Homo-oligomer: A and B are copies of this chain.
Amino acid sequence: MSTWTPPLQRMQFVIEQVLDAPASWRAQPDFADLDADTAREVLEQAGRFAVEVIAPINGTGDTEGCRWDANAVKTPAGYPAAWKAFVDGGWPSLPCAPEDGGQGLPSLLNAALFEMLVSANHAWTMYPGLLHGAYEAIRHNAVPALRARYLPKVVSGEWLSTMNLTEPQAGSDLGLTRTRCEPVDPDAPVVNGAAVTVTGQKIFISGGDQDMTDNIVHLVLARLPGAPAGTKGLTLVLVPKFMPDGRRNGAWCDGIEKKMGIKGSATAQMRFENAEGWILGEPNAGLAAMFLMMNSARLHVGMQGLGHLEAACQIATAYARERLQLRAPNRPADADPAHKGPDPIVWHPAMRRTLLDLHAQCEGARVMAYWTAILLDESEHHPDATVRQERNDLVALLTPILKAFLTHLGHHGANEALGVLGGHGYVHDWGIEQHVRDSRIALIYEGTNEIQAIDLLMRKVLDRPQRLDLLLDVFRVEIDTLLAAQDDAAGTLRTWAATLTDEVETIVAATAELQAGRAAAPDRPFLVADDYLHALGHSLLAWSWARLARAALTDHDTARRDWLLTVTQHGRTWLLPAARWRWQRVADATLALGWIPG
């Protein structure tokens, strides 16, 4: 009974009117052939795939789950066929380079594709979710023979891929990895592409086994004999489920996890037992090889948050419009005064407020996410190296925020949306409780949100303050643009300029306070890293709302204009003040934190 439909018009409005992505494409030779119409067509087809192929197996896949099988873990009914349709549609290759058989389309369109896939079916989307990371890892690291053998199958989606990082004792701390790899030929040089055998145990491996593709390309972090301890001694190894000669390799799935959500995604316990493989990239440089794809992987997880938020918004709003309960304390101007029955709960202040919170977050989050995707594209494809470097710095700053903040909004937003449906939200029928369960994992994997906050504050802000300056410059440019706008009779944009000015001053002051106190108390930033990330996330929402309001003011579609002005104003008056205490806490140098005994 899920009521999600692809929000194509709102996506296009952000892509074209708010962020003017077509102008960015024109500046990049790799995308020079792409225009807005083509992009629209891609997104329409993507939306159709999501609605017609994977949305129908979202609820059933949750109920059925995966079943362990010694030969190949059984995914829910319809999953393998949906994968075939995805491959036949050419979707895996969308963002891959043309020289690798890809379509060479921007990350932005891939991000929008995955937003919709997750809105429709997060569990199924776990399988292609790791494909692009594997593509990048193989493309950038594999020796030619290995690349020739595996890259085309990964680009086409004929074979799926996995990332084998976590071990029982090594989660956030990959330095504790114990899985070993040993050269097959002890006399051969241990170099990129060398044949090795891998032995060890990995857990939480998404798609570690499945029945959707007839081979699986495992990428495994392991330790060569005599490798340095910690993260500097990790080597990335490519281990196929089936060897090129058809032999079953020693990569075994011993079981799958019973989980809170994404039950259609097989989360495997993997046992590598003298599994044959080849080193991918330089020995002992495995973590660096993984980090190469971290920006796009984290943006990808952020999109999952947006996908859940969008779907949850739609379900809760549809329910609130049709559910009649109690008389509202006041009613919209166009309500029928003669009607005496109960009102739709969408008129009740508590529900309106919840829904407007969610819509404001959703519209703003999409601008943040798509903007970052555009920057990511420019960081790789812009002809000017200075621009690429600058974009790369901005993306590095933004990705931990997107990952943690958007997954937070997605999960907690879905949970708030469940509340709009009351008891009907707690049962399976409307699909909203599944969004709550499925979305929870996104706060954890690909680096927990706590790890993201530390990465943001310590490595991205305090260690290299010029990155934050880049972002502040973006805010300042927007302030100037808002103040220079015509068509602002009501002062909407001047108000936004004042809001953004406040945000910039607060960011600068709180960060300086933190930087100044760091020498005396090096652990203090760790205490407030989470607040810093959420506070900066809200500042970015403010910037996004200002951009939306500015684009809305000149929009010829008056219904859309009014709606966007409503939600952006709601964000400023209801959500920004509620986040201000986080900045205050960041600046509060007196905070101390107790210890838990035992």
Contact = CB atoms under 8 A, between A and B. Distances in A.
Most chain B CB within a 10 A radius of its CB, from A418, A419, A422, A578: A422
A440 B432 CA distance: 13
Given A437-B260, A444-B422, A445-B423, A566 B594 contact: yes
A526 interface: yes
24 contacts: A172-B422, A173-B324, A257-B427, A259-B427, A259-B433, A267-B427, A317-B596, A321-B596, A346-B596, A347-B595, A349-B523, A349-B527, A349-B593, A350-B453, A351-B450, A352-B595, A353-B593, A356-B594, A423-B444, A436-B440, A569-B594, A570-B593, A574-B591, A574-B593
Interface in A118-173: 166, 169-173
A598 B352 CA distance: 13
Interface stretch (A67-75, A304-312, A536-544, A580-588): A580-588
B530 A350 contact: yes
A337 interface: no
A400 interface: no
A390 B421 CA distance: 37
A418 B415 CA distance: 15
Contacts of A597: 559, 562-563
B598 A422 contact: no
Contacts of A226: none
Interface stretch (A109-117, A215-223, A326-334): A326-334
Which of the four size classes fits the interface of chain A? Answer: 35 or more
A440 B422 CA distance: 10
Interface of A: 63, 166, 169-173, 175-176, 203-204, 257-261, 267, 317, 320-321, 324-326, 329-330, 332, 342, 346-353, 355-356, 359, 415, 418-419, 422-428, 433, 436-437, 440-441, 443-445, 448-450, 453-454, 522-523, 526-527, 529-530, 559, 562-563, 566-567, 569-570, 573-574, 577-578, 580-582, 584-585, 591-598
A592 B325 CA distance: 23
Contact of A577 (B353, B422, B423, B585): B585
A598 B314 CA distance: 12
Nearest to A343: B173
Contacts of A359: 596
B423 A171 contact: yes
A594 B578 contact: no
Please give me the 7 A-B residue pairs with the lowest Cβ-Cβ distance, nearest first.
A260-B433, A566-B594, A173-B325, A349-B526, A350-B450, A329-B523, A258-B428
B423 A352 contact: no
Given A260-B437, A567-B594, A444 B425 contact: yes
Contacts of A594: 352, 356, 566-567, 569-570
Contacts of A444: 419, 422-423, 425-426
